[in-house]
Amino acid sequence: MPEASTPVHDATITDVVLEAARDVAKRAAASRHGERPALVDPAGGLGYADFARAVPAAAAGLRRHGVRHGDVGAVHVSGVRELAVAAHTVTAAGAVPVLLPPGGAPAGLAALMNDTGARFLLTGEDTAALSMAAVERSYVRQVFAFGDVPGATPFRRLLEPGAAPAGRPADPLRDAALRVPAPPEDITHAARLADLHRLCGTLDISDGDVLALCGQDVSALTRMGLVDLCLMQGATLVGVPGREAKDLLEAILDHRATAAVVTPAKLRAIAFDHGSVPVAGVRLLVTGAPSAEAVHACRARHRWPVTPLR
């Protein structure tokens, strides 16, 4: 996989992530431990090999359904597994993903889709009620869903074999890898890769790490960056559904996490509101400016170092 100090300028973000995922899967297959999960949600895990197979297959499925280079596809999902697969499938098809907040009212979601020019949507079963209501007020003409959602094409249909129209080669320096809503702004593949390599150097996430994250604690862009960081580095990302510090601590213990993303409030709760934590050395990546006393308490009481997530 690419070194953190050497950004790739002649590949897309999806090219780099898929290559890294295939390398991790090959190493796992050659070891006696077998495949380990890349992305974990409460409903289950997704392995590196399955991720690397699903994305290009589903991208070909999107092209068979009429998606073309430069089209914009909205992604409205809650879990990290669906987020990674959906966003990279859209990108691999030559389109541009827009990440919508999992919650929100249909009118607001429809406005985001219209403002960003979305013409198709990928949704999950748990977000579908909001998604489908929003679609009625938008310019979206096709909906693909993880699971069975009335009015949507099941994502599994995209994985079916068949010839697909050839996509136009992407230009990493010019083509958008992500469109940020409110106000709409395009981020190129080169810019996303540069930011990803900066994260590699700052956060020191490496092969074998397990990172626990509550997606509601970070922006959509940061969440996607952490997903890609783990995929590129061979780490496992665990999605934490609850917003409380106790939910994060339970996930850390259940999955033997080596790192976790925390808000300043969660950092303080872990430092002062909980007793002895029966695991040492967990690196806390704090999303804002922490208090010095909370940082000191985490290090002194739990031996958990604290690093800013910038």
Average pLDDT of the segment spanning 114-139: 96
Least confident segment among 115-119, 174-178, 298-302: 298-302
**Is residue 86 predicted with pLDDT exceeding 70?**
yes
Please report, for the chain, the start and end positions of each structural domain, with discontinuous segments joined by +: 49-186
pLDDT of residue 8: 55
According to the model, what pLDDT value does residue 267 have? Answer: 93
Q: Does domain 49-186 have CATH number 3.90.320.10?
A: no
Residue 226: predicted pLDDT: 96
Q: How confident is the model at residue 261 (pLDDT cuts 50, 70, 90)?
A: very high
CB distance 222 to 196 below 8 Å = no
How far apart, in whole angstroms, are the C-alpha atoms of residue 222 and residue 36? 24
Section 148-152 average pLDDT: 95
More confident residue, 202 or 19: 19
